[in-house]
Amino acid sequence: MTKRPRKAIIIGAGIAGPVTAILLKKAGIDAQLFEAWPHSAGIGGGLQIAPNGMHVLAELGLADEMIHRGSVAESFDFYSQSGVRLGSVNQNMKQRFGQPAVNMRRATLNDAILNKAWCEDVELAFEKRLVRIEDRADQPIVAHFADGTSAEGDFLIGADGVHSAVRAHVIADDPKPFDTGLIGFGGFVPRSVIENTPIGQRVETTFGQSGFFGYGFCSPDRNDGVMWWSTQPAHGTAAATFRAMSQGELKRHLLNFHAGWHAPIPQLLEAADNITVTATLDVATLPTWWRKRALLIGDAAHATSPHAGQGASIALEDALRLARLMQNEQELSATFEAFEKERRPRAERVVALARRNGNSKREFSATGAWLRDHMLKWLLPFTSRGMDWMYEYDPRAV
Ligand SMILES: Cc1cc2nc3c(=O)[nH]c(=O)nc-3n(C[C@H](O)[C@H](O)[C@H](O)COP(=O)(O)OP(=O)(O)OC[C@H]3O[C@@H](n4cnc5c(N)ncnc54)[C@H](O)[C@@H]3O)c2cc1C
């Protein structure tokens, strides 16, 4: 029998970090969580948690709360720029996979999991930016923070996202995030903007000759109950250039880019404020996910561009699977090796799918877009079934 690690240091209080801390605590392992930024109640745009991720929220006792505070997505429907319906995927998720797909504000998800972490007595410190890790034999592993403080534990989990600092400790010359050449805009508008549009609980998405637009309900909130997003080729313009623009300029850019697209896209953009801009990043496959007593999970291990709508769900899966494997009382290195062996094939399959999906949002000639739309119409019924492997996975049942 090996000495059981008693204390985890977790870097990053996004999605994977707090959930790992909660589940480790439940498994009898202490967890201290460190986040670079101050606590904020309003971060990020909207996202969708798929059934595979909802199983993890169910394990935490948060699935019903998120269904109540979010909005169940009954399908994901596709249209051409002029509004011709191309098809629909992701129907009857709850009946088929045991949990629905749920749209929500990232801030609502973050609020629920941080509250849960506090209820489970997870120690949580904000404004603690990891800058260096020391991992010497016969001593605790030490995390050093930008403010000059440090923390010690038996092992360290890097849940610090796409720009992970832990990754640089785990891998010499670690691959850096690269821009995929697509840029994302997003935000929320009042429910009244689409309440008279017959979309029901569907998420509606549109492929343009250049770019992509999506929207759907994401909360019962009257003022911010609809999420929308636009993905466009960046044409060499950096996200920072767009971020430097005023809200009025951003709105004009979006109205111009989506001019002539079917209703209610122009109406959604007219109502938009607090528009956020995101570079669409990807990271090359890592040679390893761990070194000695430090392990990467979530986007730090397998950052994915957002085009499969799965990054948060597989980060949630990572948290649950790691906590389960930690209960096997093996050497830490054996647990980390087992984790990577189990998780890598699935995560990389999702990353590859997201890359392929991203390619259909680039710029097409008029004929190319016409061909793509016709192909989609024909292929979508098969694509739908071809995605079941993502959703039918229940990390509690592995
Ligand atoms: C525009 C967009 C839309 C998306 N839509 C979806 C969707 O619909 N569905 C879905 O499943 N996924 C979606 N994703 C992907 C999803 O957001 C990520 O995969 C998910 O957030 C990964 O979770 P994580 O916990 O690994 O990382 P994060 O959520 O990024 O959390 C990392 C945390 O670590 C902190 N941190 C970073 N560096 C340090 C440091 N040095 N010290 C301390 N803390 C640090 C960060 O501040 C952050 O809080 C989307 C992504 C984008 C960009």
- What number is the average pLDDT over the span 25-40? 95
Q: What's the pLDDT tens digit per position in 311-321?
A: 999 999 999 99
- Is the per-residue pLDDT at 261 higher than 80? yes
Q: Whose CA is nearest to atom 8 of ligand 1?
A: 47
| Nearest-atom index, ligand 1, CA of 313 | 11
- What number is the average pLDDT over the span 137-166? 97
How does 16-50 read in b/e, with b if 16+ C-beta sit within 10 Å? bbbbbbbbbbeeebbbbbbbbeeeeeeebbbbbbb
How many angstroms separate the CA atoms of 212 and 307, rounded?
A: 11
Residue 117: predicted pLDDT = 97
- What number is the average pLDDT over the span 76-98? 95
How many angstroms separate the CA atoms of 157 and 321, rounded?
A: 13
Give, as one character, the DSSP assignment of residue 28.
Answer: T
**Percentage of the chain modeled with pLDDT above 90:** 86
Quick check: helix, strand or coil at residue 294? strand
Q: How confident is the model at residue 214 (pLDDT cuts 50, 70, 90)?
A: very high
**Ligand 1 pocket, Cβ-based, cut-off 6 angstroms:** 11-17, 34-37, 45, 47-48, 129-130, 159-161, 163, 165, 184, 278, 298-300, 306, 309-313, 315
Residue 154: predicted pLDDT = 97
pTM: 0.96
The residue ranking higher by pLDDT, 361 or 147, is 147
CA 145, 35, 182, 382 dihedral sign is positive
Residue 372 Cα to ligand 1 midpoint, Å, equals 31
Mutate to test the pocket of ligand 1, among 32, 35, 217, 322 (most ligand atoms within 8 A of CB): 35
- Is the per-residue pLDDT at 297 higher than 50? yes
Q: How far are the Cα atoms of 113, 289, 395 from residue 65, in angstroms, in the given order?
A: 11, 33, 20
Q: Whose CA is nearest to atom 4 of ligand 1?
A: 306
The residue ranking higher by pLDDT, 281 or 383, is 281
SS (H, E, C) 155-173: EEEECCCCCCCHHHHHCCC
The residue ranking higher by pLDDT, 335 or 384, is 335
**Could you name the CATH architecture of 7-177+282-397?**
3-Layer(bba) Sandwich (3.50)
Residue 44: predicted pLDDT = 87
- Is the per-residue pLDDT at 147 higher than 50? yes
Residue 360: predicted pLDDT = 74
How many angstroms separate the CA atoms of 12 and 33, rounded?
A: 7
- What number is the average pLDDT over the span 102-128? 97
Residue 41: predicted pLDDT = 78
- What number is the average pLDDT over the span 350-368? 87
Please confirm whether the linkage preceding 264 is cis (ω < 30° from 0): yes
Q: Whose CA is nearest to atom 21 of ligand 1?
A: 312
Q: How far are the Cα atoms of 131, 132, 139, 175, 323 from residue 145, in angstroms, in the given order?
A: 5, 7, 18, 22, 25
Residue 251 Cα to ligand 1 midpoint, Å, equals 25
- Is the per-residue pLDDT at 307 higher than 90? no
How many angstroms separate the CA atoms of 107 and 365, rounded?
A: 38
Angle, helices 332-359/311-326, rounded to nearest 10 degrees? 170
| Nearest-atom index, ligand 1, CA of 166 | 41
Strand 276-282 with 101-105, pairing: unpaired
Q: Where are the alpha helices (DSSP H) in the chain?
A: 16-26, 51-59, 63-69, 93-97, 106-119, 166-170, 239-243, 247-257, 265-271, 299-302, 311-326, 332-359, 366-386, 388-391
- Is the per-residue pLDDT at 215 higher than 70? yes
Q: Whose CA is nearest to atom 52 of ligand 1?
A: 306
- Is the per-residue pLDDT at 236 higher than 70? yes
Looking at every residue in the chain, the average pLDDT score rounds to 94
Residue 380: predicted pLDDT = 86
Residue 1: predicted pLDDT = 42
Residue 157 Cα to ligand 1 midpoint, Å, equals 15
Taking a C-beta distance cutoff of 8 angstroms, is the pair 13, 114 a contact? yes
- Is the per-residue pLDDT at 131 higher than 60? yes
How many angstroms separate the CA atoms of 392 and 336, rounded?
A: 25
- Is the per-residue pLDDT at 2 higher than 60? no
- Is the per-residue pLDDT at 198 higher than 90? no
The residue ranking higher by pLDDT, 95 or 361, is 95
How many angstroms separate the CA atoms of 157 and 195, rounded?
A: 43
Taking a C-beta distance cutoff of 8 angstroms, is the pair 156, 165 a contact? no
- What number is the average pLDDT over the span 32-53? 93
Residue 271: predicted pLDDT = 97
Residue 363 Cα to ligand 1 midpoint, Å, equals 27
| Nearest-atom index, ligand 1, CA of 128 | 43
What is the chain's length?
398
Q: How far are the Cα atoms of 183, 209, 235, 388 from residue 372, in angstroms, in the given order?
A: 21, 9, 21, 23
- What number is the average pLDDT over the span 55-71? 98
């609502």: which residue's tokens? 108
Lowest-pLDDT range of 147-156, 220-229, 242-251, 355-364? 355-364
Mutate to test the pocket of ligand 1, among 32, 35, 47 (most ligand atoms within 8 A of CB): 47
- What number is the average pLDDT over the span 150-156? 98
Residue 385: predicted pLDDT = 82
